[in-house]
Structure 1
Amino acid sequence: MTTNGRGKMLHIVMYPWFAMGHLTAFLHTSNNLAAKGHRVSFLIPTKTQSRLNLFNLHTSLISFIPLDVPPVDGLPSNAETTADIQSHLETLLVTAMDRTETTIESILLDLKPDLIFFDFTHWIPALARRLNIKSIHYCIISPASVAYTLSPERGQGSEINLEYPPLGFPPSAVKFRSHEAKESAFFRKMEFGKGVSFHNRMMASLSDCDALALKACKEMEAPFCDYLEKQFRKPVLLSGPVIPETPTSTLDEKWNKWLSGFKKGSVVYCALGSRANLNKHQFLELVLALERTGLPFLAALKPPTGNNLVEDVLPEGFIDRVKGRGIVEGGWVQQQLILSHPSIGCFVTHGGSCSITEALVNDCEVERGEEDVWFTNESICDAVKLVMDETSEVAKEVRLNHAKWKEFLLKDKLESSYTDDFINKLQDLLE
């Protein structure tokens, strides 16, 4: 174990949104901080802790603090994370998190940490300020997406046209298409927790904290990080790419045996983020696209809105038609270990920052459609087959770009250097 040789040893509390992608991302960052000798107290739903124990690489410095999820009318009694519920119930899960405020205050009074990292609990900054604790909004999605959709330049109105960049937005090759703008507008207004919209919750989180922290590196997204610093007029700290270390666990025998039955780089893995809310039509288009490719595939997908089991929604005859080469799994899977399996050759994903990083440091490819409409099974099928065709020019370009960024992300001491700088700036906040 090493320290960065500067300033005091920190005690940090982590309180991420109750979604597996957020919990694991915060834990990977905790591992980086603990590797430098800093102490982390990690707040986590009680029964969910068992899923993350094996990802805690520094048990002497990272302590899990189990939390009982408060009851909320309409929220299943056993629900702890977004993996346990349908997407339309997420607002109730946020309400449950909001009801932990008194408990969190008691924990913070007992622990007396230096800093607390959070994302969706917009009341944390005010609570932390009362207790003389610095609050850090830790955002695990792309800085470009945050800058585009949550810039104060947009104002507070609900009728803002999100198809066009806000004033002063950095020149970008990123294409924000009309359906994405409509989706962003929907998220601005939708209720996310009792009596608060998603947009207002996020704006309060970003505006009231002492500093913004981004899971990003300047080599990839510096202009957007600088833009956010100017927009919110507070320090923006970069934790680096936060590449997950190889877990101490092994891939479940069920998946290892199945994946090992296919040749290297031949399997398509499909998984969307915890906030992907597919309706039945979109779900069907996606699974039919995977079938149409003719390639072996593993799809980890939540049931579409209004359904409890993926098996109930699959097309008639689908299971028999893809038997032996395709599986649709509705539960949580070990994504990092699946992506590192030699048989995985293509990753169809929602484009979340954590998933992209996990894919880039392995040998699978990442692809998404460029159409200005919602995807069809034909467009997904064509895109997958294109990048899996080793002779196509597109596939060659994708592989070259993949190799370039993989080499960068795995550069010796890159992660350690970012972590040192991240810690230095956290220590500066305490002076």
Structure 2
Amino acid sequence: MSYVNEVLARLQKKFPHQPEFLQAVTEVFESLEPLFKKEKKYQKYNILSRIVIPERQVNFRVTWINDKGEIQVNQGYRIQYNSAIGPYKGGLRFHPSVSEGTIKFLGFEQIFKNSLTGLAMGGGKGGSDFDPKGKTETEIMHFCQAFMTELSRHIGARTDVPAGDIGVGGREIGYLFGQYKKLQNSFDGVLTGKALGWGGSLVRPEATGYGNVYFAEEMLKEKKESLEGKICLVSGSGNVAIYTVEKLQQLGAKPVTVSDSRGYIYDSEGIDLVLLKDIKEVRRESLVEYAKERKNAKYTPVSEYPNDHNPLWNTPCFAAFPSATQNEINLKDAENLLKNGCKCVSEGANMPSSLDAAHKFLNAKICYGPAKAANAGGVATSGLEMSQNAAMISWTFEEVDKKLHGIMKHIYAISKETAKEFGEADNLVLGSNIAGFRKVADAMIEQGI
């Protein structure tokens, strides 16, 4: 049994109840076989066994009181996975589906994503099974304050710098930061995604979506193609999806879909971005409202989805930008995309394609941008926010956007160069995994056991 398979077998035996974590590890490990054949030092120093175990893992109780005066209890998590190249960095997710396995998979992915940016950031992740949906502003504030009361003892501007994720936007970051500042009596850049008036960075809300489209542009340039005039599919309707739509439209593309947990919209004339932002960022309502206000738009509720695939991905397109959640594209969805002419898939969400779907895209030789490379723009701009906070300065929108664009070009270039080095020039999964892993693993070796 090879070194890679030996470590993977141990993990599968130890964590059978964490399928998403095992999926993330398997995807990375599959890519590393050629590296271990070429360079023996990683096995000598048993890097795989070390890198899959978090340096620190904190589970805590969050107790808060709702508007009815009732005591509520949620589970909180923070996984500080790897600090070999910088302070732990990774978002907080508030969603009922959050579990230890979810946070572990996200934290493991974050190690290599952060490495690829070229910035000094280690990997971490956190969150809670708290659901902000249906809660009042006061309840959300009370929960955030209770969550930060527990989390504050484990984080710091040079230790661990959380950001937002699903369920944690600017509002939640504000409440979290306010509580941290009160507890620590210190104005530190301990969270990113802050409001502009008190340490936030321009382009941060747009960063993951913009960066994903920039990455797709780089892949397509290699094929002498562009997004201009092309039909594109986008899933999700949070920050990532909204600003993917915005950047696609700026480049002359025509995104025709968005989705939320209740269903998806198909708008043959192209998504109305002003209406989408109003519904999701201002009113915080379902996409049902979009269809009511846009006559040519067709809304399909989740209750009408077939059992074996998502009909959003069965729409003819040139490019697809999955920007909702993990494993939203299964093998059938991948087959439908390819059958309907899709030439490019660039992942805005974390691990949105199942392993079977990812293999399908790779075998089809289309432009396929895996999440840890294509969606790294968000954490890259969080890193830029950390730099601005440390220097107590603020860059213009144009400056930050230019730096973001440069980082995404760098990620593409290093992933492509590494893929070529190992004889698979079109396999950016292999390229990004090896490139991200190498930097962290070398740092671990250099810093001793």
TM-score normalised by length of structure 2? 0.30
